[in-house]
Amino acid sequence: MISGAVLAAAITATISLWLSRSKSREEERGRLRATFAEAFVAYNTYKELPYAIRRRHADQSADERVRLSEILRQTQAELAYHLAWTALESPEVGDAYRDLVQHLRRTAGTAMHDAWNAPAITSDSEMNIPPTVIDLSELVQYETAYLNAVRSHLHDLLPWWKRVRS
């Protein structure tokens, strides 16, 4: 016969293990959320570069080329890291991020090329850049696909009792 103390110890140990595992799972989901968000930040940094290039200082062209080229170099490295990381973490998220970055490089890359060929701004009124000059709207569908893939991946990591499908 099992004594009350042994039974209480077994129940306490089981609850403690369950709580520990639950906390560990939540911490892992938090880490993944943060890293998926960092991947999106790298994407957005690259996406903003056509605007930064058009708004470069006209009177410091050599310094601006170096500054903006360094930002581009660093951002390219971050994109490469996140492309590999997302593919290893989840094939679905990796595919969505690869598509996002592929279209980003084509769309924003063309806009950066055009921005370097355009004269640097010289007045405050030129700070407003209309979509007729830089149009990155086609990227929205790929942003949505990436965010949906992340959401689905994180949802699948929830314990079964927390999963609510609509």
Domain ranges of the chain: 22-162
pLDDT at 96: 98
pLDDT band at 158 (very low <50, low <70, confident <90, very high): confident
Name the pTM for this structure: 0.83
pLDDT at 19: 62
Query: Do the beta carbons of residue 77 and residue 120 sit within 8 Å?
Result: no
Q: Provide mean pLDDT across the span 37-56.
A: 97
pLDDT at 166: 42
Query: Do the beta carbons of residue 74 and residue 116 sit within 8 Å?
Result: no
Is the pLDDT at 141 greater than 90? The verdict is yes
Is the pLDDT at 20 greater than 70? The verdict is no
Q: Provide mean pLDDT across the span 82-90.
A: 97
